[in-house]
Structure 1
């Protein structure tokens, strides 16, 4: 297991390097001048050139790239050209809110999606199966912002059980959870639809395998066969979906953050794009890239826990 973990970590390093290079290139090919965006269209040419020199934009591209990697190695994300504050302070302030929202959505997605998918597979072509499939289809069709507004109307206005806006304070866990519940449920219900369909499909594929028929022939209880043999062997595509959708959740959380007025990486990136805050935009994209690589690494490690045979491949 240790060798497997070390090998997967080492394989993630060049992937992260390539992704960071793509971030560096993409930010610099965007239209517009960051110095002009920071100072305004009526700024003098001398002031624009001075700011470009201060931001290092006049240096050769290869030198900018070396400075970019060097700053990341030191944990320095730069200074915002708009606010004048270190970008790292802004990221540290909003990153926990995005991570907790994503984690909450994943928990909701798995807690609701796996039981629904199992019941659909076991009771195939019955009312339960049809109901779960229609429910998952609705989840695939409803936009996150629209579902969030519906939940606000129901649980904040019609039945005032949860706060409408804000993210709460981490020093007050109960208050924080109350602010987190509806945004997490909004994204979680969308993920539930994907998990339900993937679980149903994976269970139906696994339940036809020879080892399942052998277990039934030996007289093993149906519940034991279903949860110990079938579900465990069907978990790899389900876990893969969770990893892929976690990346989508982090990116699409911006709409939920806007609807519920929550701080987060999504809102920070949108603000940086609007203001042409070159440094902040680059830093947020780097954080996104690191999170994506870490999620993929975690999924690979979970594979080894689910199926021990993977450790030796």
Structure 2
């Protein structure tokens, strides 16, 4: 099947891009000014202690060998050991992902749940009350940073009403309270993204509404609402999915701030703490993870085009 070849090409391109990203990240960390061992131990460290740490980190090896050793560890799942935490980096990142991935998924679902109906209803009655309200809300959503929204949610809903925890995460074994801890952070992440998606959805729906096949469907007796939800929205999803793919990096980067605001033990707070503590092996691997998640989201968007637009499958 032709589209299978296209999928294979996308996956091969993804693998090569991740490989190129790993080279850039490794060189950026390795060639940065200063000795990583000196940065970790401080200026008062003894020479023998510095030499021991350099051997432990493999910094006494040639640069090419260091990269190949790190790359081999990525393939086998051995990402090294965190100097600050004293635990394997792979286990540390895996533990933090159990918080960040559900948080990002929940934020994405909330953004879509807000943006799609609001964008469609705004386009259904341009310059009507819903459209005006949607434009005002989207302006606020775009203008206000997500960490500031998080602070407002803590003051208004967590401390003001006590309905939600103001921060922390007790673990998934605590049941519903664990999900409750992610509600406010997910809202803080979702609202700015929903504001952008609402505008994209409104514009895309307006463009499709004026197409000939929509007028034909209406002429055959299809109601306005059925034409809007069954024909207009599915054909307007391509630009929405495109924007959603572009927003994934912002969700990941926004998680760094939001997780620290809500004191969540996610990958964002791990990257922030590792950077503050100069735990470079953790920084190196978390940055590669961020890059990989961004590239994977873009690849999924490309594959989603094949599902949304049959014309692309025929061209593949």
TM-score above 0.5, yes or no: yes
Bigger shift: residues 127-136 or 56-65: 56-65
Once the two structures are superposed, the pairs formed by residues 1-313 of structure 1 within 5 Å of their partners are 1-313=3-315
Separation in 2 of the partners of 1:296 and 1:173? 33
Q: Secondary structure at the match of 1:171?
A: helix
Separation in 1 of the partners of 2:309 and 2:175? 36
- Give how far 1:278 is off: 1.2
- Give how far 1:5 is off: 2.7
- Give how far 1:296 is off: 1.6
| Cα displacement string for residues 159-188 of structure 1 (whole angstroms, at most 9, x for unaligned residues) | 111111112321233111111111111111
| Cα displacement string for residues 194-239 of structure 1 (whole angstroms, at most 9, x for unaligned residues) | 1111101111111122222222222222122111221111101101
- Give how far 1:50 is off: 2.6
Given the two structures, how large is their TM-score scaled by the length of structure 1? 0.95
Separation in 2 of the partners of 1:168 and 1:214? 56
CA RMSD of aligned residues (A): 1.5
| Cα displacement string for residues 218-262 of structure 1 (whole angstroms, at most 9, x for unaligned residues) | 222212211122111110110111121122101111111111110
- Give how far 1:80 is off: 1.3
Bigger shift: residues 10-19 or 277-286: 10-19
- Give how far 1:3 is off: 3.5
- Give how far 1:25 is off: 1.5
Q: Secondary structure at the match of 2:169?
A: coil
Q: Secondary structure at the match of 2:112?
A: helix
Q: Which runs of 5+ in 2 are unaligned?
A: none
Q: Which runs of 5+ in 1 are unaligned?
A: none
Separation in 1 of the partners of 2:175 and 2:56? 42
Separation in 1 of the partners of 2:227 and 2:33? 58
Given the two structures, how large is their TM-score scaled by the length of structure 2? 0.94
Separation in 2 of the partners of 1:141 and 1:303? 30
- Give structure 1 regions of 4+ aligned residues with deviation exceeding 4 angstroms: none
Bigger shift: residues 41-50 or 137-146: 41-50
Is the 1:4–1:312 contact (alpha carbons within 8 Å) kept by the matching residues of 2? no
